[in-house]
Structure 1
């Protein structure tokens, strides 16, 4: 473990806080080897035990959504610059975006790069943007794909998608990772179809959380829109009740963490990617998102670090892990 990281994880104050306080949740996870320190805040390896719980959650989400007749799509955790710009993500969340850069020079440029390394100088200005951006949310790659197919069927469409996602939020809270997995069911269709879809999944999300014997609640929420104008947008999102989150206490001494989200995008993505309804209108979209790592952490927090000791009903809900 990184002693510097562990020291930072504790609140200041007291002559010897390391001796006076019990381990934080993050320290316990690292000590048990469930998360693996990489030296970068919010970037962790995962153990076989951690991944086994994640696999159980994913299998459960598949069972719960079996009646949705969803098309399964999987994408790498990156999208092209053009689609990223079309999404308007930078207008709302520039602070979270991550771009991929690479060395694109010649032999002379390579020699300059090596000289920088030899002298222990900054070499990152030798990198150029590749035109590829880290995926900020699992559903983003599906909209341009669906838009190119033509009008939706009369009953609309549901897509099952999962991806690693990136958000630039370096943090010592274990639930706030820079790279994490989202599993989503995305609904595209009429406004009435999206509202019914979201209500169904809010009920299912609560039922699933209770089956896992976790202290869950659902509340209206907003996304972290950037800047002064972002506050207006966030207030509007809350007023219109476009976003709800399933909350579970996880982090030491912090408010409950959003582990699932239930979102209604209205016609935002439908208009951007020209996703049409069968009658010629613009499709509305909505999604339910499951934070895989956050749910694993919630289970470890409330049931202990050894899944073999968890309540039998919880283990059975996860497929007998």
Structure 2
């Protein structure tokens, strides 16, 4: 199939991948997962849904209301009087029970929640690939989707451990992109929900907490430090200090990598060949 026809049944930010696209996705994810495992990360699996109450405790709905997607089961006592509407393609709100489940926009939230109320004996790394969900003003092919897969490598421990994690993987992403002949630029990013004149935005400009790696105008990877925010909110503490753990993460938007590689190399076969070649020298 061509690079265009191997992306199947697009609808409202939802895409199925054909065999060639799926093979390239697996090759990329295997590459990024292996980086984490080689660094000592435990490979884990996390659920794609999380309790909305847990995400709310992490300020998720305060910070990212424009991206938030929630899920609710049907209220079986009301569906007969409020049935599915074929004209709108929706169940009416009064046919639903309260939305107590959240669909997170990043894979790392589940890692922090899984480690809450734990005292860690030392520094740790975890790698996870999860479905993520973001409401967007518009959707665009594999570049911007409602649901997508994100591979993350997450560091939990001392400040030095979290900082070194980002330094190491910044170098690794840069070298891999060069081997792929994929020109990326690294830019500091402020979270879009902050008022540009607010104190948090000023702090982020002085000491950036997020750097993105962009191909053209598309961010396909990022390195993020959270300081001790998640350690404090999730009560993740360190035996060595008794204080909250520091965290950082490296994230790869897999579908966005597909989009960038096919655009750069012209097709699925050419993109896969580039990845295999880059893996052999990187």
Q: Which runs of 5+ in 1 are unaligned?
A: 1-27, 250-255
Residue 34 of structure 1 is matched in structure 2 by 6
1:271 aligned to 232, 247, 254, which one?
A: 232
Cα distance change, pair 110–241 in 1 and its aligned pair in 2 (3 A): closer
Taking the aligned partners of 1:311 and 1:84, their CA distance within structure 2 comes to: 37
Q: How does 1:16-165 map to 2 (within 5 A)?
A: 32-40=4-12, 42-106=13-77, 109-114=78-83, 117=85, 123-125=91-93, 126-148=95-117, 150-154=118-122, 156-165=123-132
CA distance 1:121–1:73, change in 2 (3 Å): closer
SS at match of 1:302: helix
Q: TM-score, normalised by structure 2?
A: 0.89
Deviation sequence 1:256-276 (CA, Å, 0-9, x none): 211110001011101001110
1:120 Cα deviation after fit: 6.9
- Pair 111,215 (structure 1): closer, same or farther in 2 beyond 3 Å: same
- Pick the structure with greater CA Rg: 1
Q: 1:272 to 1:47 in 2, by over 3 A?
A: same
- Counterpart CA distance in 2 for 1:170 and 1:49 is 29
> What is the rounded CA distance, in whole Å, between the counterparts of 1:225 and 1:134 in structure 2?
18
CA distance in 1, matches of 2:91, 2:273: 53
Q: Unmatched 5+ residue regions in structure 2?
A: none
Number of positions where the alignment pairs a residue of Structure 1 with one of Structure 2: 276
Contact 2:135 2:146 in 1 (8 A): yes
- The alpha-carbon deviation at position 122 of structure 1 amounts to 6.5
Change (3 A) 1:130 1:313: closer
Q: Distance in 1 between matches of 2:102 and 2:212?
A: 26
> For 2:215 and 2:163, how far apart are their aligned partners in 1?
24
How far off its partner does 1:37 sit? Answer: 3.2
Following TM superposition, by how much is the alpha carbon of 1:288 offset from its aligned partner in structure 2, in angstroms? Answer: 0.4
TM-fit CA distance, 1:119: 8.1
Contact 1:170-1:176 within 8 A present in 2 as well: no
Q: Which protein has the bigger helix share?
A: 1
Is contact 2:37-2:43 (8 Å) kept? no
